[in-house]
Amino acid sequence: MIYFDNSATTKPYPESVKVFSDVAGDFFGNPSSLHGLGLKSGKLLQQARQIAANSLGVSSGELIFTSGGTESNNSAIKGVALAYRERGKHIITSAIEHASVYETCKQLEDLGYTVTVLPVNRKGIVSVEDVKKALREDTILVSIMQVNSELGSIQPIGEIASLLSHYPKVLFHVDGVQGFGKLPVMPKKWGIDLLSLSAHKFHGGRGTGLLYVRQGVKLSPLMSGGGQEQGRRSGTENLPGIVAMARAMKIGMGNLGKNQKHMSRLRDHLITRLKELPYCILNSPEVTNVEGAPQIVNFSCPGLKSEVIVHALEDYDIYVSTRSACSSKNDKPSRVLLAAGMDVDRAKSALRVSFSPENTIEEVDRFIEAVEQTVPKLAKIMRV
Ligand SMILES: Cc1ncc(COP(=O)(O)O)c(C=O)c1O
């Protein structure tokens, strides 16, 4: 099997699976309980929080554990929108954000907030100048992702953060879901206020994520209840998931340089090979690590529907996707590719290849062979 759909989800590390199972069996006490079993679980929770905080270079009190990227994004945006509503009701985001940001902003529009949706260039990159122009007296939040999940385009997070440092009343949220473990993620150095992560995108298993909230930032909780997570996210903590995620963060950060280099080689090789195929057009920005994240290559075979190619590649035991997993069953052309100026045919024929550090150059070559064997044949059949 060749699994090239790591932006949809990754295979958990065996260490994360093991620790999940061990914690589920041995630490079943509720971390909030006062008795010994609860204290034992509470201690493990704090250890996991410290490991996660160390991986990001932040303090443990600045982390909120969540159920994943969607919840982290909703909590960040709605949480800030509600907490700062007296200050203003204007939010800035981009046209290529994940649905959990895009739809959240739309929901806030229905509640009376104003949202400016910034365009992107042909490479799928937001302009810092556009962010500056969009800022208003009543702007409370800018939400821009680190790495786009379909094109892999890297956004100028450091530059936006440095622009926003001159606007202390505007908070900066970064959806870092596709960046962590592939590129450096440095909340303190960049000077961002909120950062969303999701464990299943970095081999940590499904159902757990986190939200970094810089100390001093107010957040109205999405989940009200028993007051867990400093009252910012009530609900009994998913201790096995949190410990498994912390383990994956530690492993991921320990291998970041090596993994980034390896996936960059895979990406550069795939792009070189794709360029030899006259029926393929590259959609992702070309320059790895500067414009394009090392794990994502998006390309189109115009004239063919992407679903048809995805299924044809399955016959070779190769797994890729058409776009973000959550919208891949939607028949409309990708909103992200259209925003980057691609036409409908190109957007409807797009494929996303996404690597993990376990993938190899040989797998890339086998993938290219499969594309060579299927795409021209399919194109002939479709023409008949
Ligand atoms: C950029 C981005 N943000 C958020 C999410 C949502 O994360 P989760 O699946 O953990 O809810 C995804 C998932 O594809 C994503 O790619």
Domain end, chosen from 224, 254, 284, is at 254
Question: Which residue owns the Cα nearest ligand 1 atom 9?
Answer: 69
pLDDT at 328: 55
Q: Which atom of ligand 1 is nearest to the CA of 200?
A: 10
What spacing in Å lies between the alpha carbon of 353 and ligand 1's midpoint?
A: 16
- For the cut 60, the answer to whether the pLDDT of residue 384 exceeds it is no
Instruction: Examine the domain organization and report whether 79 and 194 are in the same domain.
Output: yes
Domain boundary among 233, 254, 275: 254
Check residue 332 and give its pLDDT: 85
With a CB cutoff of 8 Å and minimum separation 6, the contacts of 175 are 69, 72, 73, 97, 98, 100, 101, 143, 144, 145, 146, 196
pLDDT of residue 159: 98
Distance of CA 42 to the CA centre of its chain: 29
Q: Give the orientation angle of helix 361-383 with respect to helix 256-275, to 10 degrees.
A: 30
Residue linked to tokens 């999701």: 198
Please name the residue whose Cα sits nearest to atom 8 of ligand 1.
Answer: 69
- 264 with 248, same domain: the answer is no
| Ligand 1 within 6 A of CB of 70 | yes
Q: Are 345 and 302 in contact (CB under 8 A)?
A: yes
Burial class (CB in 10 A: 0-12, 13-18, 19+), 338: middle
Q: Are 340 and 264 members of one domain?
A: yes
Is 148 near ligand 1, meaning CB less than 6 Å away?
no
For the chain, what is the mean pLDDT?
96
The residue whose CA has the least distance to atom 5 of ligand 1 is 69
CA 299 to chain centre: 19
Asked whether the predicted pLDDT for residue 270 surpasses 90, the reply is yes
Residue 340 has pLDDT above 60, yes or no: yes
Model confidence at 72: pLDDT above 90: yes
Please say if the pLDDT value at position 121 is more than 80. yes
Q: What pLDDT digit, counting tens, does each position of 209-221 carry?
A: 999 999 999 999 9
Using the predicted structure, report yes or no on whether residue 242 has a pLDDT greater than 80. Answer: yes
Give the residue from 320, 283, 287 showing the smallest Cα distance to 301: 283
Average the pLDDT over 223-245 and give the result: 97
Split at pLDDT 50, 70, 90, the class of 330 is: low
Q: Is 198 in the pocket of ligand 1 (CB under 6 A)?
A: yes
Q: Sign of the C-alpha dihedral, residues 175, 181, 184, 187?
A: positive
The pLDDT assigned to 383 comes to 58
In whole angstroms, what is the distance from residue 268 CA to residue 264 CA? 6
Pair 353, 233 in one domain: no
Q: Where are any strands of DSSP class E within 246-349?
A: 281-282, 296-300, 318-319
Span from the CA of 272 to the centroid of ligand 1 (angstroms): 29
Q: Indicate whether 369 and 259 sit together in one domain.
A: yes
Query: Distance of CA 133 to CAs 121, 137, 143, 164, Å?
Result: 16, 12, 15, 12
Q: What CATH number did the domain enclosing 98 receive?
A: 3.40.640.10
Task: Please work out whether the CB of residue 359 comes within 6 Å of at least one atom of ligand 1.
Answer: no
Give the Å distance between the CA of 279 and the centre of ligand 1: 31
Average pLDDT over residues 164-168: 98
- Return the residue whose CA atom lies nearest to atom 7 of ligand 1: 69
Q: Is 104 in the pocket of ligand 1 (CB under 6 A)?
A: no
Give percent above pLDDT 90 in the chain.
Answer: 95
Q: Output the CA 241–ligand 1 centroid distance in Å.
A: 17
378 touches ligand 1 (CB under 6 Å) = no
Do 74 and 152 share a domain, yes or no?
yes
Amino acid 326: pLDDT = 56
Q: What is the band of 324 on the pLDDT scale with cuts at 50, 70, 90?
A: low
246 and 188 in one domain?
Answer: yes
Instruction: Choose which residue among 7, 177, 194 to substitute to test ligand 1 binding: the one with the highest number of ligand atoms within 8 A of its C-beta.
Output: 177
Structural domain count of the chain: 2
Assess contact for 184 and 157: CB atoms under 8 A: no
Q: Reply yes or no on whether the pLDDT at 329 is more than 70.
A: no
Pair of tokens at residue 307: 């679903």
pTM over 0.95: yes
**Ligand 1 atom at minimal distance to the Cα of residue 198:** 10
Mean pLDDT of 161-177: 98
Share of the chain above pLDDT 70, in %: 98
In the prediction, which pLDDT does 325 show?
A: 58
Ligand 1 centroid distance, CA of 66 (Å): 13
Among residues 191, 222, 254, which one ends one of the domains?
A: 254
Q: What is the pLDDT of residue 266?
A: 98
Residues 223 and 358 in one domain: no
374 C-alpha vs ligand 1 centroid, how far in Å?
Answer: 30
| 146: CB partners within 8 A, 6+ apart | 154, 155, 157, 174, 175, 176, 178, 179, 183, 185
CATH code of the domain in which 369 resides: 3.90.1150.10
Q: Is 98 in the pocket of ligand 1 (CB under 6 A)?
A: yes
Domain that holds residue 379: 2-9+255-383
Q: Which atom of ligand 1 is nearest to the CA of 73?
A: 4
The rounded Å distance from CA 71 to ligand 1 centre is: 9
6 lines ligand 1 (CB under 6 A): no
| Whether residue 212 is found in the same domain as residue 122 | yes
Predicted local confidence at residue 379, as pLDDT: 84
pLDDT digits (tens, 9 = 90+) for 280-314: 999 999 999 999 999 999 999 999 999 999 999 99
Is the per-residue pLDDT at 363 higher than 80?
yes
Residues 119 and 182 in one domain: yes
pLDDT of amino acid 327: 56
| Residues present in the chain in total | 384
326 is annotated as an active-site residue: yes
Question: Within this chain, do residues 227 and 325 fall inside the same structural domain, yes or no?
Answer: no
Contacts of 294 (CB under 8 A, 6+ apart): 182, 183, 260, 263, 264, 266, 267, 288, 355
Claim to verify: residue 161 and residue 267 sit in the same structural domain: no
Q: Which of 105, 280, 301, 326 is catalytic?
A: 326
